Amino acid sequence: LFGHVEPSLYPFSLGIRDSFMIAHSFHNNPRFGPAGTLHGATYTCDVEFLSKSLDPETNWVIDIGKASDMLSEVLKKYNLKNLDELFPKGVMTTTEFMAKQIHDDILKKL
């Protein structure tokens, strides 16, 4: 799920956090000012797994170790990389773009 979720539909959650460092540019687009050129960024990535109920055997939403490993594996493909080389020319790799990309990558692993 991406965006607003009605809390009463998913009352249980598990949150995890990791970080990664990237380089990228906004292809000299003047709307981004000095950030339009190549620069580095460090991101903190928070992921929240939601559930309507707890697993009846373990009383968890998801195994925290597996969730952490999943996020680490997803972030590994971006960490210490130049996003300009990973995505098609001209893609604006904004924070919002990366949030959606990471979300989509995690969904593929669930």
Helix (H, G, I), strand (E, B) or coil at 44: strand
pTM: 0.89
Q: Which residues pair with 16 in a beta bridge?
A: 47
**pLDDT confidence tier of residue 2, bands split at 50, 70 and 90:** low
Question: Across residues 6-31, what is the average pLDDT?
Answer: 94
Mean pLDDT of the chain: 94
3-state helix, strand, coil in the chain (%, to 5): 40, 25, 35
pLDDT at 8: 80
Q: What residue type is 69 in one-letter code?
A: D
pLDDT at 99: 96
Query: What is the distance, to the nearest Å, from the Cα of residue 16 to the centroid of all Cα atoms in its chain?
Result: 11
Q: What is the mean pLDDT of residues 36-62?
A: 96
Higher pLDDT: 18 or 3? It is 18
**Separation between Cα atoms, residue 16 and residue 52, nearest integer Å:** 18
